[in-house]
Structure 1
């Protein structure tokens, strides 16, 4: 078989790079791959150190460290010239690869010598999307479609997230045209250049990879649209006619029709499997710290080979799930019972989820546990304090995410273990490449009494009068006292990390925090947290050393003026060092060790129909409008009005000439 060279252009974003390189290291057949070239385009120290640590002593990897940033296309073209394999696989840094990916790439190119380019199916890539069914991790989808005989249909068009290239066919000076600058449309341009040369571009329809489809390398400002619009104009001048012809002729859902349920992009099959851990959540949606912690925790467990899943009995935000996470929660208990044959641990995550988790634990004979992120007995003015205190003693294990919560649980004589939870140290970190404004202060606005919003607003007035530039995120609309403030709305974790890397301070007035994730995310990023009280941060932070605790509820304008005049660099530097004590990665390692979780083993796959009747429609907005346009183009009225449209275009051109 042909040898494969893997190319990985990298610029910062160490968390996604961590996932990708670990998957390459563990899932690559080294007899098929001659080298993996990492083009490090002058990334920051955290990213560069991570890469060095991951590939140390592994001769398959080559780490090219640039002293000058070439930009995405310059980086790709340079490492493509270094490739020695007959096939090149160009990877976005935000992809994750499954086991036996190289075998399937090589087999696809061996099937037809005229194949020039190829792409697999994925979670996010417009025309190559296949969504996991409820309860599935993205790797489950790959296990399913890997059992189905491939047909290698034509791709319309290829997408650059995982682009396979027969190197002999592309000996131009540059693989990707530098005219496209920072990227976008350059892969579609390559698609049509390949077709023009007479080659086939195909879909490897028995391979599925994860693609998160968001670039942490860009700022929180909306610069992606400008880049996309500029490059689309360049592309249209070259290939407009061919592109329109392709769009008009491609089938509805295209190559996914064999794998997806009708009128959706949801995979039509699933299979029975065993789980180490099942978490039960009341809902799954963005902008909830507790929910995000559990979902990211499950992603990290699965990445380490621990079979974990989530069941949600409430609302599920499919957009959040399918664009930011690697796993889709179960949304119907019957799906869990149909697809899961064994569970070792079932975790409730709140007072409301107790009975649901208990039912699953009883059904599977699993250990009944609780993942505790807050002092719930004190929530809702203590209305459920008695029942919650009894529940703690019912659990086989209570997992506390902080020392503060461990002491809280021990006060109820509950069986407790503690894990050193914090933000991901690779998602939130202080980058020396980011320009920070020490006179900028960020705050998260949340309409919840426990978040201390009223006190926060009063303090922000003082900070603004003292001369701070205010940045708001979260539910930041409708607060008329901040007409000069920059409002960013709800932010993804990547966007939040960017914001914390650009401002000097973060103000938080929350009450009853079991941990205090946002202040920690700020500290990890080199942004000094100003907090009302320590609570969940007790034992993690020290006032004046790595955080600033408000001296009173309303410290006055002079307090904030003093912050502006003081440099506080020691506090900033010490805040970053908290990453050495706690993090998502450390917490997952501790969790696995303390409850003795076991890596999954390969099991025979017997396909069963996915229970799509339990799932809300997963037709994405773009697919909906595409189907509507298709209906219009095939309608009789469209055909009858063709002369009118033609006459209108002629009149417009005549007016331009005259």
Structure 2
């Protein structure tokens, strides 16, 4: 029996939305990880934001033809920018919950089912974010650090899956991988593409808007996704911060202070320790050497 054959009916899981803009090698690795980690028939939407690299559409088209997943490709006629491309994809996925997955990620293990279970645990959860090596406040092993990718990410995902999830509250989701409840999208709308343009800050703004309407954002602490970091934006010259950070803080004046306080308090210290202990136990049972390169 394959490792995914006994899993949840893929038709009941959120739709995986992968926004794409260039970054051929990263996209190829992401698609391979989807094939490894998802059950046949799982729904995936590739949203190509008019990638100018002609190799990218060819890669996407070939993968959609070959994969056992229920994959669909949409190519924008012109570049919309990340927030507007995501909003279009939200509209193209009907009334289902979605998982917005950056194209420079490599998801591991039963990550999608874990995120779905997290959303199902509380109808007021608007977003769920998994652990990652490079996930800002959800980074492991070092907090708010771009850790290197683990040498054996499957082992780390297996360690996370051993834990009884607590779903700690986050001040904001982290955009590399975020499960979004459709009801929350209906309630507060999509990303503010007019304000945040090509991208950066739109997911934080969305989370703050949702929270203002009574929704919560949590860590899905039994799931893990590798994130390599910013590959899709490299060709655009965009970088975190800048004008979009100023716009975010103008709209939400207490945001920077709140995040700074969260980092100082580090409420995920305990969950990180539990994950480290589960990883050490797994390594003791099946020694694999160093799990991080």
Query: Which residue, out of 232, 246, 265, partners 1:233?
Result: 246
Question: Aligned residue pairs: how many?
Answer: 271
Which residue of structure 2 lines up, in the alignment, with residue 253 of structure 1? 266
Question: Does the CA contact (< 8 Å) of 2:125 and 2:215 recur in 1?
Answer: yes
In the alignment, the residues of structure 2 paired with residue 55 and residue 134 of structure 1 have an alpha-carbon distance, to the nearest angstrom, of 27
Give the TM-score normalised by the residue count of structure 1. Answer: 0.39
RCO (CA 8 Å, sep 6+): is it higher in 1 or 2? 2
Q: Is the CA contact (8 Å cut-off) linking 2:38 and 2:112 kept in structure 1?
A: yes
- Aligned match of 1:99: 109
CA contact (8 A) 1:24 1:97 kept: yes
- Tell me how far apart the structure 2 counterparts of residues 259 and 153 of structure 1 sit (CA, whole Å): 11
Aligned 1:574-589 pairs, distance under 5 A? none
Deviation at 1:274, TM superposition (A): 6.1
How far off is 1:17 after superposition? 0.7
Deviation track 1:381-440 (CA, whole Å, cap 9, x = no partner) reads: xxxxxxxxxxxxxxxxxxxxxxxxxxxxxxxxxxxxxxxxxxxxxxxxxxxxxxxxxxxx
**Which one has the largest radius of gyration?**
1
C-alpha contact 2:104 2:229 (8 A) present in aligned 1: yes
Q: Distance in 2 between matches of 1:117 and 1:144?
A: 22
Alignment of 1:199-210 (within 5 A): 199-210=215-226
- TM-score with structure 2 setting the length: 0.83
Please tell me whether the aligned partners of residues 205 and 255 of structure 1 are also in contact (alpha carbons under 8 angstroms).
Answer: no
The 1:116/1:30 distance shift into structure 2, 3 A limit, reads: farther
Match of 2:191 in 1: 176
Partner Cα distance (2:233, 2:271) in 1? 35
After TM superposition, give the deviation of residue 14 of structure 1 in Å. 1.1
**1:192 shift after superposition:** 0.6
* Matching residue of 2:201: 185
Task: Tell me which residue corresponds to 1:77.
Answer: 87
Q: Please show how residues 455-474 of structure 1 align to structure 2 within 5 Å.
A: none
Deviation, 1:74, is 1.6
Deviation at 1:126, TM superposition (A): 1.3
The CA RMSD over aligned residues, in Å, is 2.7
Distance 1:41 1:135 in 2: 30
User: Which residue number in structure 2 is paired with residue 119 of structure 1?
Assistant: 129
In the alignment, what sits opposite 1:328?
292
Q: Aligned residue for 2:57?
A: 48
Partners of 2:133 and 2:255 in 1: CA distance? 26
> What does the per-residue CA deviation read over 1:177-199, in whole Å, with 9 as the maximum and x for residues that have no partner?
11111211111111111100101
| Long gaps (5+) in structure 2 | 1-7, 142-146
- Say if 1:80 and 1:134 are closer, same or farther in 2 by CA, change over 3 A: closer
CA–CA distance in 2 between the matches of 1:109 and 1:30?
22
In structure 2, the residue matched to 1:110 is: 120
Q: Could you tell me which runs of 5 or more consecutive residues in structure 1 were left unpaired when the two chains were aligned.
A: 276-308, 312-326, 330-658
Match of 1:12 in 2: 22
1:255–1:249 Cα change, 3 Å: closer
- Given that residues 29 and 100 in structure 1 are in contact (C-alpha distance below 8 angstroms), is that contact kept between their aligned partners in structure 2? no
What secondary structure is seen at the aligned counterpart in 1 of 2:241? helix
Distance 1:57 1:14, change over 3 A: same
Does the 8 A contact of 1:29 with 1:102 survive in 2?
Answer: no
Could you list the per-position Cα deviations for residues 277-328 of structure 1 after superposition, in whole angstroms to 9, with x for gaps in the alignment? xxxxxxxxxxxxxxxxxxxxxxxxxxxxxxxx7x7xxxxxxxxxxxxxxx62
